[in-house]
Structure 1
Amino acid sequence: MTPSHIFTIPSLLLLSGALVLSQDYEYTDFAYGTPPEVPRLSVPDYNAQLVYSYECASECSCPSFYPIAMYCDHRKLKAIPNIPSHIRHLYIQHNDIEEITSKPFINATSLREINLSYNKLQSSKVDKDVFSILKEIVQLHLEHNNLEDIPSPLPKTLRRLHLGFNKISKIPADATRELTELTVLDLCSNRLTDAGIKGKILSGMKSLMQINMCNNKLKSMPADLPESIQQISLENNSIASIPEGYFKKTPNLLSLRMSHNRLRFIAYSAFNLSKLMELHLGHNQISKPFFVPRTLEHLYLNHNDFKDLNVSLMCPSLDFGNPNMLTYIRLDNNKLRGQLDYYAYRCFPRLIMIFYGNQRKDDEEGSETKKSEKPERPKATRLST
């Protein structure tokens, strides 16, 4: 096995713009890592009224310096307490709650955020219309529960919906029909199948910017994503191909994450997008190069089946007045022989790092790895140029 090599250029640029998913995908016990703990206090709502009754459920706490929030987390609760009318933020995660009834929410006319993650919620014990009566709600956390269905109907004011780590296998049309203001939909680590999201289930969410469907059972790309989409996370599925022209309906795409799938072939111009900045395709079975858009900054092709990388195909023309933005490319654990063509530095003049790493021999195990295995991260050796 040849020693690891890494080619660097002195300066280091950061991924710019609104893109927040700039770190390399880490394969952990969960599909996209353990989510960060919800902060104990939210940013104060300066538009809130200055005078409150300080009413608070006896099972919870409502800080006097932030009386619009009620903290009921980590208290072994089995039911949701009654919520006073002035409360805007309800934190009731990490409890033993199995059911949601309408009674605690009768007076909760000001609620904007609910965190019910890390409980024992069951779909059969969630009252119908329990959330639809909340006319101000914008953020709902239901991840890490035992839900088999998406609660519906949901209020049209909702902007962020977190449903990761449940047992959801489909997205019914009535669950998303009114969600025209939704910007973030997280469904990672569920049981979604192609049949469960067929039709125009997603296209009606006209404001959707980020969709997470990592660690599910998808075999094909989700259909009819809205034009507004900017970030797509599909890691840890069984997707074998990307249809030609698939991204024509999503011209605003900034980030695509598809590591740990079964991709073999990608149409040459599949990623001919004017805004794409980050592309994760590691841990697949890709062997042929494709067109790299000018805006792309981070490209991950590690753990694939490339025997050579024709940079001329990736970059068919040079434009020194409008150069390619690529700064980082990861190529370890392919079947490459020899160093990358020096033309790469002409084509991608802003390259900071080419992570070449270890390469496999033709007779070594292919790039398709068992999802239960944790791939080793190659050790980097820096060499100045």
Structure 2
Amino acid sequence: MWWFLFLCLITLASASPSQCPPNLPDTCSCVCNYQCDEPVYLNIHCSTVPDLYELLSTFGNVRFFEIKIDKCEKPVQSLTKLPPFYTICLLINQCGLESVADNAFADISGLELLDLSNNALTEMPVFPHFPLLTYIAINHNLLRDFGESSESKNYSSFDGVPELTQLYFQNNSLTEITDATFANLKQLRTIDLSNNKLQRISANAFRDQPPILDLFLSFNELTYLEPETFRNTDILTVYLDNNRLTHLSANSFNGNKRLDVLHLQHNQLTDIAVGTFNDLEDVWEIRLNNNNLTSIDGISGNLPKLRKVDLSHNRITKVTNTTFNNFWELRLDLSNNQIESVAPNAVNGVYELILNNNKLTTLDGVFDPLEATTVATKDNETCHCTCSNNA
């Protein structure tokens, strides 16, 4: 999915003056992508442009791989219909865009990547029918919603781009993901909504989606997750770190058979309901560091591949249950808590145990009987314990 993004960054040969559009500003470079044979694919990169429309109107029938505008000297504000041209990648950044007309891109052909980052858009543009468009980035804008259909509008912004695989809307003002937000986008693989103002995610927002590789929801304002928001979804890695979550309900992630890494660090979690992580068959890492947890009772379930759990920088005072007995080669980080005691047999399934910066005075009986090598770190001193049951 990254092939065209990678190629957008590669140029291999200088283009001859006859191949480049005439009268390019001195701030623009023109080079060949691949090789300068027919059909010619050029890359145009402009650090600044005096007039966006004047520049684009000179492109005519030239075929471009990438047109990249880093900055417009004269803010465009309202992007109206662009002149016709052919390009695979189009990047218009720092041009002061505040709105985009519905037909702004109607006469552009070949488009696979569109980047309108670092502008001032408040409303999601309506994308015309682009059968090849798979990548949209509108980072660092002022977007407030996703342009979903409503009672007053019977179409959504994404109706014309059903083949989208990657969406990047970082650093905007988005507040909610509804059932309709991604309903018609059945090819999504990466969704990045980090650094927004998300406060609510509908329980069915990601239901019936194809496998999603990465879902970035970091640095938002989420305080609560609907109990089944991620239940029976198909997401590989979920980033929920740096939000304001205080509680995780049972079955929050139940049935997500492909989830392998779950990021919940830097929230305000005080407890995790038993059953929260039930049947996460592929998960191998759960990050819960830098929360307000006082116990580890909720970390249980059928987790056969779990290898790393980070519970550092919480408020755990003791480890009494057998939560970690059924694991194999688990790396457990309990550092920087308030642990005063660890019960015998409480960590029998742990291969590496990190306990530095707690209130422990003894570890007697904790590692006996163990059939694996355990590394316990206490007060910045490392104790390598090879404990075996010879009975």
Flag structure 2 segments of 5+ consecutive residues without an equivalent. 13-17, 35-41, 43-64, 148-155, 361-377, 385-391
SS of aligned partner of 1:88:
strand
The structure-2 alpha-carbon separation of the partners of 1:178 and 1:62, relative to structure 1 and needing over 3 Å to count, comes to farther
- 1:285 aligned to 292, 297, 300, which one? 292
For the aligned residue pairs, the C-alpha RMSD in angstroms reads 3.5
Contact 1:333/1:360 (<8 A) preserved: no
Normalised to the residue count of structure 1, the TM-score between the two structures is 0.69
Matched, 1:333 2:336: yes
- 2:282 aligned to 272, 275, 284, which one? 275
Greater helix percent: which structure?
1
Distance 1:336 1:78 in 2: 58
Question: Aligned partner of 2:100: which letter?
Answer: I
Normalised to the residue count of structure 2, the TM-score between the two structures is 0.68
Aligned residue in 2 for 1:71: 68
Flag structure 1 segments of 5+ consecutive residues without an equivalent. 1-37, 46-51, 318-322, 362-378
Distance 1:381 1:75 in 2: 54
Q: What displacement does 1:219 show?
A: 2.2
The structure-2 alpha-carbon separation of the partners of 1:298 and 1:117, relative to structure 1 and needing over 3 Å to count, comes to farther
The share of aligned pairs that are identical, in percent, is 20
Distance 2:267 2:101 in 1: 40
The structure-2 alpha-carbon separation of the partners of 1:267 and 1:69, relative to structure 1 and needing over 3 Å to count, comes to same
The structure-2 alpha-carbon separation of the partners of 1:341 and 1:92, relative to structure 1 and needing over 3 Å to count, comes to farther
Aligned residue in 1 for 2:185: 179
- 1:203 aligned to 204, 207, 219, which one? 207
Distance 2:355 2:229 in 1: 36
SS of aligned partner of 1:210:
strand
| 1:6-27 deviation per Cα after TM superposition (whole angstroms, max 9, x unaligned) | xxxxxxxxxxxxxxxxxxxxxx
Contact 1:56/1:62 (<8 A) preserved: no
Contact 1:149/1:168 (<8 A) preserved: yes
Greater strand percent: which structure?
2
| 1:323-352 deviation per Cα after TM superposition (whole angstroms, max 9, x unaligned) | 6242x33222211136796874x5234x3x
Q: What displacement does 1:100 show?
A: 2.0
* Residue pairs, 1:91-170, within 5 angstroms: 91-102=91-102, 104-123=104-123, 127=125, 129=126, 131-151=127-147, 152-154=156-158, 155-170=161-176
Aligned residue in 2 for 1:348: 350
Question: Aligned partner of 2:68: which letter?
Answer: Y
Matched, 1:237 2:243: yes
Higher RCO (C-alpha under 8 Å, 6+ residues apart) = 1
Aligned residue in 2 for 1:248: 254
Question: Aligned partner of 2:9: which letter?
Answer: S
Distance 1:192 1:138 in 2: 24
| 1:153-189 deviation per Cα after TM superposition (whole angstroms, max 9, x unaligned) | 2111111111121111123444322111111112222
Equivalent residues, number: 308
Question: Aligned partner of 1:133: which letter?
Answer: H
The structure-2 alpha-carbon separation of the partners of 1:55 and 1:311, relative to structure 1 and needing over 3 Å to count, comes to farther
